[in-house]
């Protein structure tokens, strides 16, 4: 029986997009539940930032087996930036990685992100979306920084939820 490749690819693509949308929706459902447990006086931003920190630490630990220093610091930063981009792309974002101004810098750009749209559905302020992404990425660096004994940092330079048209993060190794 012949296979209609275009039909199969379309079916898989739609399934992938559905799964990506559920990642965001599940997070925001979790957020609503956590705020309910925390009580009326809980600060939604604090709950969200605490969650981003916890999630980031686990994601960062998962990145360790795919990183190494064998090709030097410049290649290490490139590998790390690609891991960040891959994690984000799995959530449905359109992400690219570019070299930074210095050899131990990389720029991560995102032109399309599903999180702000999902946040609107759950009435989450856009500033919370921006700050949780920043906290998530900062937390993802904790274990790689310690494990490889490299002072790593990431800075958010632009954010879609702030109306800046794209996300831009600079990932770099701090001067020692």
Indicate the range of 113-122, 140-149, 150-159 predicted with least confidence: 113-122
pLDDT tens digits, one per residue of 20-48: 777 788 889 999 999 999 998 999 999 99
Backbone angles phi, psi at 92, to 5 degrees: 105, 5
| pLDDT given for residue 44 in this prediction | 94
Counting residues of the chain whose pLDDT is more than 70, the rounded percentage is 98
Distance CA 126, CA 44 (A): 12
Instruction: Show the tokens assigned to 173.
Output: 């190794």
Q: How far is residue 37's CA from residue 100's CA, in Å, rounded to a whole number?
A: 43
Name the 3-class secondary structure at 69: coil
pLDDT tens digits, one per residue of 125-139: 999 999 999 999 999
Place of tokens 């939820």: 161
Mean pLDDT of the residues in the chain? 91
Q: And the tokens for 120?
A: 């609107």
Phi-psi region of 42 (alpha: psi -120 to 50; beta: other; left: phi over 0): beta
Please name which of 62, 102, 77 lies closest in space to residue 171, comparing C-alpha atoms. Answer: 77
* 3-class SS of residue 168: strand
Beta strand 94-99 pairing with 105-112:
antiparallel
pLDDT of residue 12: 74
pLDDT digits (tens, 9 = 90+) for 142-155: 999 999 999 999 99
pLDDT of amino acid 82: 96
What does the pLDDT average to over 72-98? 94
Rg (CA), the chain: 18
What domains does the chain contain, in order, with CATH numbers? 5-173 (3.30.1380.20)
If you average pLDDT over residues 112-120, what whole number do you get?
91
């Amino acid at each position: 029986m012949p296979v209609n490749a275009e039909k199969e690819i379309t079916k898989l693509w739609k399934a992938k997009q559905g799964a990506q949308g559920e990642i965001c929706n599940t997070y925001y459902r979790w957020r609503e539940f956590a705020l309910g447990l925390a009580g009326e006086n809980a600060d939604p931003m604090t709950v969200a930032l605490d969650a981003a920190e916890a999630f980031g630490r686990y994601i960062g630990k998962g990145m360790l087996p795919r990183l190494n220093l064998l090709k030097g610091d410049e290649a290490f930063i490139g590998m790390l930036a690609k891991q960040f981009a891959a994690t984000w792309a799995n959530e449905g974002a359109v992400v690219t990685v570019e070299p930074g101004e210095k050899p131990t810098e990389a720029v991560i750009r995102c032109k399309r992100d599903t999180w702000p749209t999902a946040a609107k559905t759950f009435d989450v302020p856009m500033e919370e979306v921006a700050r949780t992404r920043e906290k998530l990425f900062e937390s993802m660096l904790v274990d790689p920084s310690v494990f490889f004994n490299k002072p790593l940092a990431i800075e958010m330079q632009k954010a879609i939820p702030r109306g800046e048209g794209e996300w831009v993060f600079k990932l770099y190794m701090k001067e020692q």
